[in-house]
Structure 1
Amino acid sequence: MADGSGRHRALAPSPAAAAEEEEPLGDCDAAPKYAGREEPLFDPATDSIHATHTGHVRLRDLEEHGTGDDASDDASDMAGHRRGASMAASFFNLTNAIVGAGLIGLPYAARQAGVAVGAAMIVVVALLVAWTLRVLALSSKLAGQPTYQGLVQHCFGGAGLLASSLFQGAMAGGGMASFIVIVGDTLPHVLAALMPAAAASRAGAVLFSRRFVVAFFVVCLAYPLSLYRDVGKLGKTSAFAVIAMCTIVVAVVVEGPRIDPGLRAPPGTPVRLAATGVFQAVGVITFAFVCHHNSFMIYGSLRKPTLNRYFEVIRISTLASTAVSLVIAVAGYLCFRDRTQGNILNNFPQDSLPINIARFLFALNMIATFPMETLVAREVVEELFFGGRAFSLRRHVAITTCLCAASLAVGETVCNLGLLLELTGGLSASFLAFILPPACYLRLCSGPRFSRKTLPHWLCACFGLTVMVLSTVLSIRHALATREAAGSCW
């Protein structure tokens, strides 16, 4: 809290805060850098942070004293906490951000890597995502930066901000295109099943076609919603999205063994425990799990935004997401094996009622989620090319129009969701999830850069760099070599 002199006086840790104290990472031998300065942990005269005798960062110090924010108005802070998100709401938000659209591509990842290797990679990526989310949260406390881009700029300057913005833009753009492909894969089947007579007519063949449905989705639904400047106006859809994901998993598990045997893998088709497409599969899995560019918003929205509470949300959300992902990946692959498509729902017939319900719910989820990715991509464009300028409605509309048109062009041209997931996950998601978080923490840590305690950070960054390079190169080469990977709609 700030006293009359403007300095912050030390706060005695409350029993609750002391009970919540833990050693979160313990990766640095020396005191971390705080806001660009190398100083001891929290000191009431210098606003810095004290190091424990082990050199670890104490959550109590970070949580009780914050990062220099003025906490003079306790009543206002308490009112803000009451207005924040509950643990349950944060769980839904993070779970939705983790699994998202990539869920239906996980059986394809099991086909690429083999079911045993694919399942193992899902667990490994989930553990890495949970760990790097913790690293990001701690790094944001150490640097006093509430956003991903602010943290990267604080650690690496303008070059880091440029790199993170480009990869965030690519991640958002890939997500927008993937959502369009998903809508094209789902809604035409649902409409044809609901109105079979109209679909069989000449006009229905046009109105219910993939290209018309996709164009209508973008122009009449996604584009108007994307023009909003405030994402809060789009509503809270995380709980609905999680229910939709669970519905898809149940539908795939239940309907897979019951569909026409001619649509499943022929009898005697071997179950591949391991295959050669490991790095392409990691790209798909990474796209499904990465949520780092959304994590700061979820962390800050907690009613009581302490690190321990946020870490608990991370643990529960990643556990639930991993369980759901393993079920759909294994069940989908075992049913269709070598016939498993990039969108597992495309393996099912059009007249399956449970699958059509899942398709419809998933399409609604994509319609609601598309504008959120547009918001990220638009902010990247604004930051890179128009930083510091006053808001312009004309520029706002022009950027939104160009982004939606570009994603529509990709979504109309590429029909195989697997390729988009591989490229977006391998290139952008790996950089945002496995390279930047440990790099930022190593930058903030004032201890030796190479030591036993910093080894996990270096290994994580090397893993991310390997996946980013090999997954992208192999996916492009596979797309050029086979028409299946390209999946052109034209």
Structure 2
Amino acid sequence: MAKNSRNKDDSISLKYTTFGLKSSKEDIYTEDEMNAPLLSDNSRNEGILVIDESSDNAYLEDVEIARMPHHGGSVFSSFLNMANSIIGAGLPYSFREAGIWSGIILLIGLTMVVDWTIRLLVLNAKLSGRSSYQDIMQFCFGKSGMVAISLFQFAFAFGALYRDISKLAKASGLALISMVIIVVSVVIEGPQVDQSLRGSENGKWAFIHDEVFQSIGVISFAFVCHHNSLLIFDALHKPTIDRFATVTHLSTFVSLVSCMLMALCGYLIFTNKTEGDNVIINIARFCFGFNMFTTLPLELFVCREVINNYYFPNEQFNVLRHVIITTLLVGGAMIISLLTDNLGTVLELTGGFSATALAYILPPACYLKLSSGKLWTLNKLPAILCVIFGILVMVLSTMLSIANIIDGWITPDN
């Protein structure tokens, strides 16, 4: 049966529970309503009804035309896009900064938090009746929220001409195959390298190092995909919370296993040393470059959305504008990358500043704003603690990264 979610009070908390988050008005939302797809932008503006998930159509995009079964991606294709967005560089570097045991604990713990906040973001979208991260922030915090999320999203995703993100599934699949080749190459070749090519043993097995907060920023940079999670959600053929939870759990688990293998092998064996003439490792380097080639279009979806929503909110799609924006974004990212020779600093600063806000601060803050009842309750405690953790990490990681940059300028290495 069709349901109009606009009849619901936007300030009501959800009945759906996540890490103990529960509504104080449990009779407001039924389980069927929680499984109904989100409203698209057009359906909100034109009053289109949302139909039940059991129908062949996911939801209505305009008055006459329903979204047909062949439109939208499957759970598997969405998993490919999300996993491709998550799995990235810098994990061995983060273990070197944090220490081997602290790195393992942080990687597992932050994976669990990211998995939770991704799903919490979709719950916030259901609560507010909005379909993008920017719209949720504007609904909760007004113009200042819109400006803040635009800044964080653009800073994180900066640097495809596809209009439908689900069409990137094949490229993401190839990227994941490339990442598998990279991991296997490091695992196989790592133990065989000559002792002279291995890093120093000093401090290798330390529990914690003094750059642990910068390490959190690097891990967050690798795992944060909140900026395009709602795009992936909306690209599902039947975008419901249960189906998206499956995508999220599968993506974060596969990413955790891959990143853990890469981080452990890379840190324990190579540290800051590499071998230049190994055939398998050269193949892995090619695969890493190919992975960057396929990941950039996924990130550009977010940058384009920020620009279009901020500067052209009410205008129809324009091919020329689309091409110009994409070309400028790709060119700008390329110029910055050519001028940067320290990837670790980029990962620390970008991850510490924007990734922590996108993953640990804004999703639970929106939930606290949207939910009803008193703030200091047991059900809201996980969200409150997550916001505090995110603010602490963002401030310390950003300040320490900037201090290291300034110190490098003052006392450059010879």
TM-score, length basis structure 1: 0.72
In the TM superposition, what is the alpha-carbon distance from 1:281 to its structure 2 partner? 0.5
1:328-367 matches, cutoff 5 A: 328-336=262-270, 340-341=271-272, 347-367=273-293
Map of 1:320 onto structure 2: 254
Matched, 1:80 2:68: yes
Match of 1:305, SS state, is coil
- Bigger shift: 133-142 or 278-287? 133-142
CA gap of 1:165–1:87, structure 2 versus 1, over 3 A, is same
Distance 1:234 1:314 in 2: 17
CA gap of 1:487–1:148, structure 2 versus 1, over 3 A, is farther
Matched, 1:264 2:198: yes
Distance 1:261 1:7 in 2: 64
Matched, 1:63 2:41: no
Map of 1:108 onto structure 2: 93
**Mapped contact 1:416–1:485 kept (Cα < 8 A):** no
Q: Alpha carbon RMSD of aligned pairs, Å?
A: 3.2
Distance 1:270 1:26 in 2: 38
Percent pairwise identity: 41
**Mapped contact 1:227–1:397 kept (Cα < 8 A):** yes
Larger radius of gyration: 1
Could you list the per-position Cα deviations for residues 63-93 of structure 1 after superposition, in whole angstroms to 9, with x for gaps in the alignment?
Answer: 2586685246945449734544333222222
Distance 1:416 1:229 in 2: 33
Could you list the per-position Cα deviations for residues 278-327 of structure 1 after superposition, in whole angstroms to 9, with x for gaps in the alignment?
Answer: 11100110010001111112222333332122212222221221122111
Distance 2:249 2:299 in 1: 25
Distance 1:293 1:80 in 2: 27
In the TM superposition, what is the alpha-carbon distance from 1:434 to its structure 2 partner? 0.7
Matched, 1:161 2:123: no
**Mapped contact 1:418–1:485 kept (Cα < 8 A):** no
CA gap of 1:314–1:364, structure 2 versus 1, over 3 A, is same
2:176 to 239, 242, 259: 242
Match of 1:80, SS state, is coil
- Bigger shift: 379-388 or 74-83? 74-83
**Mapped contact 1:23–1:59 kept (Cα < 8 A):** no
**Mapped contact 1:251–1:355 kept (Cα < 8 A):** yes
In the TM superposition, what is the alpha-carbon distance from 1:30 to its structure 2 partner? 2.1
Letter in 1 for 2:332: A
Distance 1:367 1:485 in 2: 35
Map of 1:420 onto structure 2: 346
Distance 1:410 1:7 in 2: 44
TM-score, length basis structure 2: 0.84
In the TM superposition, what is the alpha-carbon distance from 1:487 to its structure 2 partner? 9.5
Could you list the per-position Cα deviations for residues 449-473 of structure 1 after superposition, in whole angstroms to 9, with x for gaps in the alignment?
Answer: 1111111101101111111111111
Could you list the per-position Cα deviations for residues 364-414 of structure 1 after superposition, in whole angstroms to 9, with x for gaps in the alignment?
Answer: 121222233234223323333444456666655554444334323321121
In the TM superposition, what is the alpha-carbon distance from 1:447 to its structure 2 partner? 1.4
In the TM superposition, what is the alpha-carbon distance from 1:352 to its structure 2 partner? 1.0
In the TM superposition, what is the alpha-carbon distance from 1:356 to its structure 2 partner? 1.2
Could you list the per-position Cα deviations for residues 185-224 of structure 1 after superposition, in whole angstroms to 9, with x for gaps in the alignment?
Answer: xxxxxxxxxxxxxxxxxxxxxxxxxxxxxxxxxxxxxxxx
1:443-482 matches, cutoff 5 A: 443-482=369-408
Match of 1:303, SS state, is coil
**Mapped contact 1:91–1:316 kept (Cα < 8 A):** yes
**Mapped contact 2:304–2:325 kept (Cα < 8 A):** yes
CA gap of 1:106–1:486, structure 2 versus 1, over 3 A, is farther
Map of 2:356 onto structure 1: 430
**Mapped contact 1:419–1:485 kept (Cα < 8 A):** no
Map of 1:380 onto structure 2: 306
CA gap of 1:434–1:322, structure 2 versus 1, over 3 A, is same
1:30 to 18, 24, 28: 24
Distance 1:303 1:230 in 2: 12
CA gap of 1:383–1:484, structure 2 versus 1, over 3 A, is farther
Could you list the per-position Cα deviations for residues 11-54 of structure 1 after superposition, in whole angstroms to 9, with x for gaps in the alignment?
Answer: xxxxxxxxxx97445424523xxxxxxxxx7xxxxxxxx33xxx
CA gap of 1:235–1:120, structure 2 versus 1, over 3 A, is closer
Map of 2:43 onto structure 1: none
User: Could you list the runs of 5+ residues in structure 2 that have no partner in the other structure?
Assistant: 8-14, 40-46, 60-66
Matched, 1:97 2:85: yes
**Mapped contact 1:136–1:437 kept (Cα < 8 A):** yes
Match of 1:61, SS state, is helix
Number of aligned residues: 391
In the TM superposition, what is the alpha-carbon distance from 1:261 to its structure 2 partner? 2.0
Letter in 2 for 1:70: L
Letter in 1 for 2:96: R
**Mapped contact 2:16–2:23 kept (Cα < 8 A):** no
